[in-house]
Structure 1
C-alpha cells in the first residue's frame, strides 16, 4: 500500500510522456516545442506531467481558432475533417437523412396528386369508427 503513490506518479509521468510524444506538432500548447515538454515532464515529474495534461487538454477542447494560421496551412485554409474516414452509421449520415426526407416528401406529393379512387363499388365515406346499422347476432 505504501508503494501506491509511487506507482500512480510513475503511471502519470509515463502517460504524459506518451501523450506528449504522440501529439501533433502543430497542436502543441503554449507554443513550446515538443522536446521542451518532454524535458519538463522528465525533470519535474509530478508538476511537469500535470502541467502537460492540463495545458494540452485545455488547448484541445478550447474553441477552434478560426482564421488563425497554423504551420503548413494558409490563414483560413483547409481544416482537417472531423468526419470519420470509414463508414458512418445511417442515422449519423447527413446525406442518408436528407435522402430519406426527400423520399418522404416525394411520396407525400404523389399521394396528394394521385386522384382518390376507391376500388370497391358502393363504398361509403363513413369513418371506420362509425356504428354499424346491424350490430350482428346477439348471444342470449
Structure 2
C-alpha cells in the first residue's frame, strides 16, 4: 500500500509540473525553452521539484509575477500624480468658493498666519 501511494504521489507531482510548464510564461521559465523544461520535469521526483522551486522563485506572495524593478504605487494615496491632481482640484474648488478665479488660495507674504505681526 505504501509503495502504491508513493508511486501515485510521484506521478501526481510529475503531472502537475508538466501542466504548469505547459501553461507557464517566459518569465517563470527563466529563459529556458519550454521543451527543455518538459524534459527536465520528466526526471522522476527531482525534475518536478526543480521546476516548482524555480518557477515559484519569481512570484510574489499574492501569486502574481514579481516585478523586476521598483513597483509602482499600490493605493491611490501612494500615487504622487493622484495626490497632485487632488490638490489641484481642492485649489480650484477653493477659488470657486471664494468667488475669485484669479486668486491663489495659498498664503502670500502679506497673509501672515500669526495674526498679522511681522518681525
TM-score (ref. length: structure 1): 0.43
TM-score (ref. length: structure 2): 0.50
